[in-house]
Structure 1
Amino acid sequence: MAGILATGRAPVFAQGTTVHWLRWNDFVPASDQLLRKELLPAAEKALGIKINLETVNGNDLQPRITSAIQSGSGPDIIMLFNNHPQIYSESVIDLSDIAGRVSEAEDGYYDLCKSNSADGQKWISLPWTIVGAMIAYRKSWFDEIGSSTFPDTWEKYREVGKKLKAQGRPIGQTLGHTFGDAPTFSYPYMWSWGGTEVERDGKTVNINKKEVIESVKFMTAFWKEAHDEGGLAWDDTNNNRAFLSQTICATLNGASIYIESLRNPDKYITEKGAQLKTDIQHSPLPKGPAGQFAMHTYFSHVIPNYSKNQDGAKALLKWVHTKANYEPWFVSQKGFATPPTHEWEKHKLWEEDKVMAPFKIAGLLGQTPGYPLPSSGKKAAEVLTKYIITDMYAKAIQGAPAEDSVKWAEVELKKVYS
């Protein structure tokens, strides 16, 4: 690649090669604009190929790859979330060569990248980024009810949330079938109470125990007392809109809410006439009886083995992951996306806005579905895509006894892990 860029000569591909790249509609619109207007035209010139960039709602990506693999045709590069690549490991090409180059050049990948993107023998997807999940909250509203720092335990968060909801300022959270905010809340919450979907042997399902039942009972009361109860039906955009319209006091999210308030400072004004951006802070999830945990939304790309443009697709991934090309995209994210390697922790962007500081090391702190297993394999990916953990809590909130909700999850998990 260095030779190609130095000479300005494009590699030789079949005449008229077009690489179809399918991604989500980025929550930072400036980044999609940068791709379309600057980065991809530069890539086309450098590589001598045509690039067809298609963006869709994030929840539509998994149905698209499933359909494409079943039909044997579709995009050449597809973005996937979390451990979803594990589901398609036999239907995508080996990207170990590119992953190895990026890792060597950038001080190594975070462990969670390998857990989600490697299957034990090869890299089945190429890590793209990690979107840190933190609680965005209204600092002044918390101060008003005597919480000068964000609550560090679930019990404290429940009490603060109860007071704020009484003032018409509830917590906003989704437990719906949406790829980001629901699992990045429900999984760490369960772990913090001592629950896991499977034991360390990778076979034993032991979710039906006192600690998990207690977590469900607590969540059911916590939801009614402190949350916007309509959140069960939300996707990953509803809480953004609710926070920006100032109808909720806090929500687990990436940094997109804060970044939008920066982008349009005069559009979002508090009830006291201040710019909303001055009243947003970020905090990790509270700790529970078993400790404090996090799960972050992970992004990577696969090349399906049906692709007739595999060489062009690999060349594009190599090009976009070259530091000089990746950096403008990373900067356009303003910290919403954390790169997958340690090298970027040293970037000056993290020093420019202290509100974004908690996101700097998101890649170091997150666990992956299937925890405590070291690798988030195909079975854990199936559990995630079926929303079993999220639904365990949602069912209880909707009226099922906690014991029945946990028993349901146990049965569903055994179908996967047996």
Structure 2
Amino acid sequence: MGGMAGILATGRTPAYAQQKTVHWLKWVDFVPATDQMFRRELVPQAEKELGMKINLETVNGNDLQPRITAGIQSGSGADIIMSFNSYTHLYANSVVDMGPLAEEVGKREGGIYKYAQAICSNGKGVYMGMPWAVIGGMIAYRKSWLDEVGATKFPDTWESYRDVAKKLKAKGRPFGQTLGHTFGDAPGFTYPYMWSWGGKEVEADGKTVVINSKETVESVKFMTGLWKDGMDEGGLAWDDTNNNRAFLSQTIAATLNGASIYIESLRKPDQYKTEKGEPLNKDILHAPLPKGPAGQFGFHLLQSNMVMKYSKNQDAAKQFLTWLHQEANYRKFFESQKGFATPCTAKWEEDKLWDVDPVMTPYKVAAKLGQAPGFAGPPDAKAQEGLSKYIITDMYAKAVQGMPAEESVKWAESELKKIYVA
């Protein structure tokens, strides 16, 4: 018997209907070549070798957390979802343990960096997300423009940073920075900035809120002056793409960013040129954020992949992630990034890719040197809640819009106590 009658008689569905489908939800990569590589090469290869269908969906990074929440609430959605920072802790009860894969990859690749371990695991061998990559945040800056105001290297203190920014703003070339509700560049700037002055959200006990300190207040006061003197004041409304466009259109002289600005200028050398008609990529360098009275810090976006508990394809999802983390397959991702993403294991630190372009070299240790939100406490669910609510970023945004420094810090203290004390 053929057709539907045959299917009903045998009690078996056609082979194609039995094929597993894994739905992977990730961000729209800031390196377009990577998403193209996934769709044209790596996903078709995985489908062929694993005998499953891979549904790759990409969304703006700011849309990932709402999709996670919606999936958990409805009990349906993507099988694998890319996580930013400590979403892993926030949704720990709704994801599958990836510890066995993390242990396997760590042993094979020289160990997983402590930064990734702290964010992705509970410290007891359970991994809420499989570490994927760190998007290092460095200052991209126009070398020739800084040279014109006497800065032969990027300023390494906040005082000299403000001085150089002020001179460049007077020439119509301010520094640019977002203080908006956006996942990467805003907290990537404000958290290390606060730490560098000695400010912190909580003590090491993860309970005692201590943000209302002299150090934090001083950092806010300095930020208000810095914003007026040297920054593009439209940055209050920027997301993680606006500063890229501002830099590439030559309206700002420097901005905290992943390496996507530089990589884009390499990708389109004929489109992006200096005011003198030379390739813009020849005039871009990278530097870490300046140091403050308490030291120099970085907060880099850590990405992992979470397998959701509601998924009916958990085994297939784990199989796909295991395949992705095979060195030959992961390398295709790594090389397509050209240094924009730093792997989470020590092995890749010595990869030859970092020797190809010295402009990218500062990014190779991002995963090694990052400090997690919630410092000095753990990067747990409460730390992620504070990050998701943009409390630290808003503390500075309120001040540059006119709220007295002491009041903006008290506001942040009140908001953090709702999380840590209530």
**Pairwise TM-score range, normalised by the shorter structure:** over 0.9
Residue 285 (1) aligns with residue 289 (2): yes
SS in 2 for 1:97: helix
CA distance in 2, matches of 1:367, 1:261: 29
| Structure 2 counterpart of 1:102, from 101, 105, 108 | 105
Residue 392 (1) aligns with residue 395 (2): yes
Superposition map of 1:3-402 within 5 A: 15-121=18-124, 122-373=126-377, 375-402=378-405
- Using a 3 Å threshold, how does the CA distance of structure 1 residues 335 and 148 change in structure 2: closer, same or farther? same
Cα distance, 1:13 vs structure 2: 12
Q: Kindly indicate whether the alpha-carbon contact (under 8 Å) linking 1:13 and 1:49 is maintained by their aligned counterparts in 2.
A: no
CA distance in 1, matches of 2:140, 2:170: 20
CA-based RMSD of the aligned residues comes to: 1.1
**1:416 corresponds to:** 419
Letter of the 1:85 counterpart = T
Letter of the 1:238 counterpart = N
- Post-superposition Cα deviations, 1:242-292, rounded to whole Å, max 9, x if no partner, equal 000000000000000000000001111101111000000000000001010
Cα distance, 1:14 vs structure 2: 8.5
Q: Kindly indicate whether the alpha-carbon contact (under 8 Å) linking 1:13 and 1:48 is maintained by their aligned counterparts in 2.
A: no
SS in 2 for 1:182: helix
- Post-superposition Cα deviations, 1:379-402, rounded to whole Å, max 9, x if no partner, equal 101111011111100010111110
- Using a 3 Å threshold, how does the CA distance of structure 1 residues 281 and 409 change in structure 2: closer, same or farther? same
Q: Kindly indicate whether the alpha-carbon contact (under 8 Å) linking 1:176 and 1:390 is maintained by their aligned counterparts in 2.
A: yes
- Using a 3 Å threshold, how does the CA distance of structure 1 residues 14 and 104 change in structure 2: closer, same or farther? farther
Q: TM-score, normalised by structure 1?
A: 0.96
CA distance in 2, matches of 1:83, 1:90: 13
Displacement over 3 Å in runs of 4+ = none
Give the unaligned 5+ runs of structure 1.
Answer: 1-11
SS in 1 for 2:132: strand
Give the unaligned 5+ runs of structure 2.
Answer: 1-14
- Post-superposition Cα deviations, 1:101-132, rounded to whole Å, max 9, x if no partner, equal 11111001111101110123310000000011
CA distance in 2, matches of 1:230, 1:278: 27
Cα distance, 1:201 vs structure 2: 1.6
CA distance in 2, matches of 1:131, 1:350: 15
CA distance in 2, matches of 1:232, 1:88: 29
Between Structure 1 and Structure 2, whose CA radius of gyration is higher? 2
CA distance in 2, matches of 1:150, 1:185: 16
Cα distance, 1:356 vs structure 2: 0.3
- Post-superposition Cα deviations, 1:345-368, rounded to whole Å, max 9, x if no partner, equal 111100000000100111111100
CA distance in 1, matches of 2:88, 2:155: 35
Letter of the 2:210 counterpart = N
CA distance in 2, matches of 1:18, 1:202: 41
Q: Kindly indicate whether the alpha-carbon contact (under 8 Å) linking 1:168 and 1:247 is maintained by their aligned counterparts in 2.
A: yes
Q: TM-score, normalised by structure 2?
A: 0.95
Cα distance, 1:46 vs structure 2: 1.1
SS in 1 for 2:341: coil
- In percent, how many aligned pairs have the same letter? 66
CA distance in 1, matches of 2:152, 2:69: 47
CA distance in 1, matches of 2:22, 2:194: 41
Cα distance, 1:371 vs structure 2: 1.3
CA distance in 2, matches of 1:84, 1:243: 30
